[in-house]
Structure 1
Amino acid sequence: MNRELTKILKTVYENTGIDVLLYASDGSFIASATGRTFFRPVKLSFDTVFTDTESHRTHFKLYYKTDRLFGEIEGDGAVAANYAYMLSNLIENMAAREGNLSKEEYAKRILLGDCSGADVHKFKIKYAVPELPFYVLAVRSGQKIAEVLNISAQYVTNGVDFAVKIGERECVIVKFIEDDGEYQSSADFAFFLANSMYEELGLRVEIGVGGTFRRFEDACVSYQQAATALRMSSVFGSKGNVHTYREFILIKMLEDIPEGKLGDYLSVLLDKEAKELLRDEEMVNTAEEFLENSLNVSETSRNLFMHRNTLMYRLDKIERVMGLNLRKFSDAVTFRIITILFKLVK
């Protein structure tokens, strides 16, 4: 890889006079046109371009095949930033010519949001992507991801759907919705897929379901939503193995509020005793099960194998400490929002 990249960087240097230094995703040096290296620690946590006024250097992200790399050039002004954007596209295009991306590699970059609109359009033309609505599923497994990918591929045999490996524990399915489709909804297909994984591999996978879109240019948005659903399900301990983005839209809205503001809200809603109660995992799990069972005392007692009087005692304690009667729908909603805020701020 280093030899190919050095060749590309020398071509860039000959045509632009700019010496680009390239680093791997872990910050280790890879190549430059002149053999020069810069040993200052590389900042990796930025969106596309980062200008370091202290070192008078500009950093930018790019992709070489499926590897995310970081480029660096001299200068820290607006001109250097514009050069960084240009060089990112130039090096990526030259790399693509050096070795054509496979469909899987190309699709992975689109899903991760690392392709321009022009690149997405080229993909649509090259692989005859249909003008149909679609959605993205993110399938996560702790093991056997190659087998999970193979099983997934068995259910995308209509010539337009496709499955892509994203990481060591995750693959993605892009599913187009046809008029004669056999699944009623994206969640319906996700449940079918999860059951198939269990029956054929004995694996319990987690599946995040993104929103449905009509423009393939929005594939990265649907994937981000599916990945968010998986992340939220882990944070909030959601039951089941299929999680849709729509389930977590309220949580996502609250998450987008600055953490300092969330803390202000909690300080109004909770005193010290209430915060201690929310740290009691058994108490909170009891309350959430009660909410899951539509505020039904008998159903909750059965599901928790708990005596009815014990359940009532815990509900009464929540009311005494927090002033919320969970038997009332409005108070139950307030309690749910408070628990979300508490977990987001922790």
Structure 2
Amino acid sequence: MAFKVFQSVVQRIRDTIGYDFGITDSSGVIIASTVEEEIGLVHDDCVDFLNSNSTYVEKSDMVMKKIDNNGRLDFVLYLLTNHPDRKSLAELISISMENAKLYYDEKYDKSNFMKNVLLGNILPGDITIRAKELRVKNDCRRIVYLVRTEKTRELYAYNIIQSLFPNNSKDYIILLDDQNTVLIKELKEKEDSDEIHKKARIIIDTLSSELMIKANIGIGTEADSLRDVARSYKDAQTALKIGQIFESEKNIVDYNHLGIGRLIYQLPTTLCRLFLNEVFKEGVFETIDSETMITIQKFFENNLNVSETSRQLFIHRNTLVYRLDKIQKITGMDLRKFDDAIYFKVAMMVKRYLDDVSK
């Protein structure tokens, strides 16, 4: 990737000075050149120059200059000209290459640094020091979006997210694997939860319309400093996991709005099984067919309203009453009563959790 940066700079300088030149690595292989056909070939004169103690050599039609970084030899510049000011030209080109390398290293190191912060691979005490070196703001509001897509070998999802948030100095997009991409978004001063959710919706809709890819997003808690970014990422992971179990129909799950699912997820499975056995006798839950389960879910969605539920299910009100009576006979609970409905709702969620654990 750094070589592409060099090649772009080389071509622009060539257009300005009008002379051919190239850059080799520390073994003499050409990595950037105004003559693109040379890239990948070994430059014999540069190899000889590398084996010498000289830092600058002039020949009749060419000059060569070693480019080092903090005392370490990185590259060799060769410039094809006999112009009287060729030494000054070589010096200016060397400075341009050093700056291009510095720009690339800083950009790459920032992303790598943020990835290590995200994954908790850097000690808290080192985060502040490294952030200052890379000129990354430490104390500012950030939020972590964990974007999970269908498996793909391509980086299209990553590219789409990058195009939506192109500000590399404030926002960081990190590709974790072929399914998971993380956006670390810097928040504006007055940006609230509604704005945070709008950005998640934009990502979902863009991936769907541009690539026909289904995606789910977990939103972490707000991070006030870089040290909190790892926690926000873990919260985003937890949000996706809990959402997958209890609210699979949702494609955006916020850690701050997990409801009772958060409580159940943190309970020991032995306690969950005890509760489930207390609510349902053995084998009772399995006797409830899919049609009855849909009826129950729709009844809960409509706040136990019989008339509205029957209307949405396109059935007669008496048919729904018959089904509710049937459920009462099977389970011993009348879902028209608030207490029984609460027991049943929680029991359904506990059953989903146990089923997920046993996978």
Q: TM-score, normalised by structure 2?
A: 0.60
Q: Which residue of 2 aligns with 1:121?
A: 128
Whether the 8 Å CA contact 2:143–2:184 is kept in 1: the answer is yes
1:134 Cα deviation from its structure 2 partner: 1.9
Q: Which residue of 2 aligns with 1:112?
A: 119
Q: Which deviates the most, 297-306 or 313-322? A: 297-306
1:242 Cα deviation from its structure 2 partner: 1.2
CA spacing shift, 1:327–1:129, aligned 2, 3 Å: farther
Counterparts of 1:1-346 in structure 2, within 5 Å, are: 102-125=109-132, 126-144=134-152, 146-158=155-167, 159-179=169-189, 181=191, 184-236=194-246, 238-277=248-287, 280-301=289-310, 303-304=312-313, 308-346=317-355
CA spacing shift, 1:119–1:330, aligned 2, 3 Å: farther
* Whole-Å separation in 2 of the counterparts to 1:142 and 1:329: 40
CA spacing shift, 1:199–1:273, aligned 2, 3 Å: same
1:258 Cα deviation from its structure 2 partner: 1.8
1:261 Cα deviation from its structure 2 partner: 2.0
Encode CA deviations 1:263-306: one digit per residue, 9 max, x unaligned: 2222222212533246x444333322332333344544455555
Q: Which residue of 1 aligns with 2:28?
A: none
Letter in 2 for 1:121: T
Count matched residues. 247
CA spacing shift, 1:172–1:329, aligned 2, 3 Å: farther
Letter in 2 for 1:266: L
* Whole-Å separation in 1 of the counterparts to 2:237 and 2:180: 10
1:234 Cα deviation from its structure 2 partner: 2.4
1:117 Cα deviation from its structure 2 partner: 0.5
Secondary structure, aligned partner of 1:174: strand
Letter in 1 for 2:145: L
Gaps of 5+ in 2: 1-104
Encode CA deviations 1:189-208: one digit per residue, 9 max, x unaligned: 21122112222222221111
Whether the 8 Å CA contact 2:149–2:215 is kept in 1: the answer is yes
1:186 Cα deviation from its structure 2 partner: 2.0
Whether the 8 Å CA contact 1:273–1:321 is kept in 2: the answer is no
* Whole-Å separation in 1 of the counterparts to 2:316 and 2:255: 35
1:163 Cα deviation from its structure 2 partner: 1.1
* Whole-Å separation in 2 of the counterparts to 1:122 and 1:305: 64
Encode CA deviations 1:230-279: one digit per residue, 9 max, x unaligned: 2223223521321222343422322222211222222222212533246x
Letter in 1 for 2:324: L
CA spacing shift, 1:266–1:161, aligned 2, 3 Å: same
CA spacing shift, 1:318–1:135, aligned 2, 3 Å: farther
Secondary structure, aligned partner of 1:185: helix
CA spacing shift, 1:301–1:147, aligned 2, 3 Å: farther
CA spacing shift, 1:334–1:179, aligned 2, 3 Å: same
* Whole-Å separation in 2 of the counterparts to 1:105 and 1:316: 60
Letter in 2 for 1:315: L
Secondary structure, aligned partner of 1:227: helix
Whether the 8 Å CA contact 1:132–1:178 is kept in 2: the answer is no
Q: Which residue of 1 aligns with 2:76?
A: none
Whether the 8 Å CA contact 2:219–2:235 is kept in 1: the answer is yes
Whether the 8 Å CA contact 2:246–2:261 is kept in 1: the answer is no
Secondary structure, aligned partner of 1:214: coil
Encode CA deviations 1:72-121: one digit per residue, 9 max, x unaligned: xxxxxxxxxxxxxxxxxxxxxxxxxxx99733333223222332202332
* Whole-Å separation in 2 of the counterparts to 1:167 and 1:305: 45
* Whole-Å separation in 1 of the counterparts to 2:287 and 2:130: 53
* Whole-Å separation in 2 of the counterparts to 1:152 and 1:277: 46
Whether the 8 Å CA contact 1:130–1:160 is kept in 2: the answer is no
Identical amino acids, percent of aligned pairs: 28
Secondary structure, aligned partner of 2:336: coil
* Whole-Å separation in 2 of the counterparts to 1:155 and 1:183: 19
* Whole-Å separation in 1 of the counterparts to 2:308 and 2:180: 36
Q: CA RMSD in A?
A: 2.9
* Whole-Å separation in 1 of the counterparts to 2:181 and 2:205: 16
